[in-house]
A and B are shown apart, each in its own frame.
Chain A
Amino acid sequence: MSELTQLTLAQARDAMAAGEFSAVELTDAYIAAMEAVRGLNCYLLETAGRARDMAAASDARRAKGDVGALEGVPLAVKDLFCTAGVPTTAGSHILDGFTPVYESTVTRNLWDAGAVMLGKTNLDEFAMGSSNMTSYFGPVTNPWQRRGDAAKLVPGGSSGGSAAAVAARAALAAIGTDTGGSIRQPGAFTGIVGMKPTYGRCSRWGVVAFASSLDQAGPMTHDVRDAAILLGAMAGHDARDSTSMDRAVPDFEAALSGDIRSLRIGIPRQYVMDGTPPEIDALWRQGIEWMRQAGATIVDIDLPHTKYALPTYYIVAPAEASSNLARYDGVRYGLRVAGDSIQEMYENTRGEGFGPEVKRRILIGAYVLSAGYYDAYYLKAQKVRTRIADDFHAAWEKVDTILTPTTPGPAFAQGEKMDDPIAMYLNDIFTVPASMAGLPAISVPAGLSAEGLPLGLHLIGRPFDEETLFRVAGVLEDAAGFDARPALMAKGA
């Protein structure tokens, strides 16, 4: 049984197609794995009974010749996606007792493709964080440890539970959401592939909103092929999300040709930053060399507004968050804390229901949107955002894909960087610019730090050209040959 949890999604799919094992057998192996790694706190809710029912239904469909793209594939779902009849928390106390009566479009697409839900994964509260430390339900432990040091490390965030579940082999693959790096940074911290598609590729309907002009769902997987397969099932136009694009969803897996000889890879000068550890720069240089050896043309490019992306993000995202989170008022769903007046009830509910980081961002957002400050902060940030996007538009004249590091360092210990919000925000310095411009991007595990922790390289693509992005990522993955495994992993039943 234990071998079943060591497969990739593609391998499991092909083995089930060949009749080597059933969806029920595969699901049972993952249910055992979920139980084995409970100490990591990566699942907020295990839905084993539902998973077995879904797996049995999948086997029945297969017996009739009805086989979807993800038929019988057991997946973990970030607990930001509303799942009908299954409690959804967003990692927050304020959604206490909330059980959606509807299914998010992305998860609906997964189940329609035959996938099996294993459970809902832990996350930073309302996806606000880069460590999973802000979850109301406690931190997630990264399955990786520093060499000779059992200190508990963060898995990154906000999709930390999804990342840890995949890395610990307690899910065949997972879905996450990415606002400023919330799929890619935890992907890098846990040695898995994390991919954010172009804004508009996946429907946001039924996903608890953080910053609506930035939020995108994406796959978190063992390898690039799995990410291509999973995104293919997640993506597509949805009439219920006016920002989802009505474009054909290509066969992303077919794009993995392994040939990047005709491509130009951009290396942005501005991503060389003071204080970046030498091992990050070294890995980046190695990545450039791998691209060159694969026959791609390396082109130095300028993205002059790179350093302004993160401060821009910390105006735009909190502004949108303060607006989106106004809906949590103790009236229609979730927590209610009594008060003598309706005003007091609102204030008590929100004061008790939101954690410190969420409150901090609501306050920043309310401030930058308030009369007298709107132009100086919010309007200014939206103008800088235009300039950041223009930098990329200019770059696409010269290159097809951009290569950068994913993070400025490996996973850090639980509790580190907690007293300095800006130090925590700097985790997303390499991932935020692509978010601000709505571009697809992917983190591929590419090497180990001196302490034996995974490091990722990051590729950014043209809008709606995920195919080229996957193609380059596949070549990068092959060249890196990353095969290290974390210390804490489900060994299976």
Chain B
Amino acid sequence: MPLDRENVRAIAQLARLKMPEALLDSLAGELNKILGWVEQLGEVDTDGVAPMTSVVAATLKQRADIVDDGDMVEDVLANAPEETRNFFVVPKVIE
């Protein structure tokens, strides 16, 4: 089922992307073209095939559960668009 402008609007909202109304139709067209093109994967027999989870065969390396950094408030906040008293500041979220 091809995507329409309402689907694109919904996906954009999920992805927290403001999309100009005027672009919704052309985006739907582009996305449909890409999704139509990837449909060819349906030709591949994947019955009983495990989905890839790691591209290199390796056991995840373990380390001791020790905190070895931290206490760098200034560094963490150094690039904040707005901060105060060691907090990031965002628009009010509660009434």
Residues of A near any B CB (own CB < 8 A):
97-99, 101-102, 198-200, 213-214, 239, 242-243, 245-246, 305, 307-308, 311-312, 314-315, 322, 326, 329-336, 338-348, 350-352, 354, 359-360, 362-367, 370, 377, 379-387, 389, 421-422, 436-438, 463
Contact = CB atoms under 8 A, between A and B. Distances in A.
A334 B8 CA distance: 26
A311 B13 CA distance: 25
Contacts of A334: 79, 81
Nearest to A358: B17
- Across the A-B interface, give the 9 residue pairs with the lowest CB-CB distance, nearest first: A351-B18, A438-B55, A382-B51, A333-B79, A336-B81, A383-B46, A347-B18, A311-B38, A366-B15
Given A385-B52, A421-B34, A246 B46 contact: no
B14 interface: yes
A408 to B, nearest CB: 16
Contacts of B51: 379, 382-383, 385-386
Contacts of A339: 91
Interface residues of B, number: 50
A35 to B, nearest CB: 29
A12 B44 CA distance: 51
B58 A363 contact: no
Contacts of B90: 331, 342, 345
Contact of B56 (A350, A351, A463): A463
B55 A213 contact: yes
A348 B91 CA distance: 13
Contacts of B91: 338-342, 344-345
Given A332-B88, A386-B50, 17 more contacts: A246-B61, A308-B44, A338-B91, A345-B91, A347-B16, A350-B16, A351-B18, A354-B17, A363-B8, A366-B15, A367-B31, A383-B44, A383-B49, A385-B52, A387-B49, A421-B30, A438-B56
Interface of B: 3, 8, 11-19, 27, 30-31, 33-35, 37-38, 40-44, 46, 49-56, 58, 60-61, 63, 72, 75-76, 78-82, 88, 90-93
A384 B44 contact: yes
B56 A386 contact: no
B38 A377 contact: yes
Contacts of B16: 326, 329, 343, 346-347, 350
A365 B34 CA distance: 12
Contact of B11 (A101, A102, A367): A367
B55 A199 contact: yes
A384 B80 contact: no
Nearest to A97: B79
Nearest to A102: B75
A422 B30 CA distance: 9
Given A311-B37, A364-B31, A333 B56 contact: no
20 contacts: A198-B56, A311-B40, A315-B38, A331-B88, A334-B81, A335-B81, A341-B91, A342-B92, A348-B18, A350-B18, A351-B17, A351-B18, A363-B12, A364-B35, A379-B51, A380-B46, A383-B52, A385-B52, A422-B33, A422-B37
Contacts of B27: 360, 363
A238 to B, nearest CB: 10
B21 to A, nearest CB: 12
A403 to B, nearest CB: 22
Contacts of A347: 13, 16-18
Contacts of A315: 38, 41
A438 B57 CA distance: 10
A83 to B, nearest CB: 14
A276 B11 CA distance: 36
A437 B52 CA distance: 10
A77 to B, nearest CB: 19
A476 B53 CA distance: 34
Contacts of B43: 308
Contacts of A389: 52, 55
B44 A305 contact: yes
A50 to B, nearest CB: 19
A380 B44 CA distance: 9
A279 to B, nearest CB: 26
Contacts of B54: 213, 243
A76 to B, nearest CB: 24
A314 B61 contact: no
Nearest to B57: A463
Contacts of A377: 38
A363 B38 contact: no
Contacts of B72: 101
A134 to B, nearest CB: 14
Contacts of A245: 56, 58
A326 B17 CA distance: 10
A381 B84 CA distance: 45
Contacts of A381: 38, 41
Contact of B79 (A99, A198, A422): A99
A400 B15 CA distance: 44
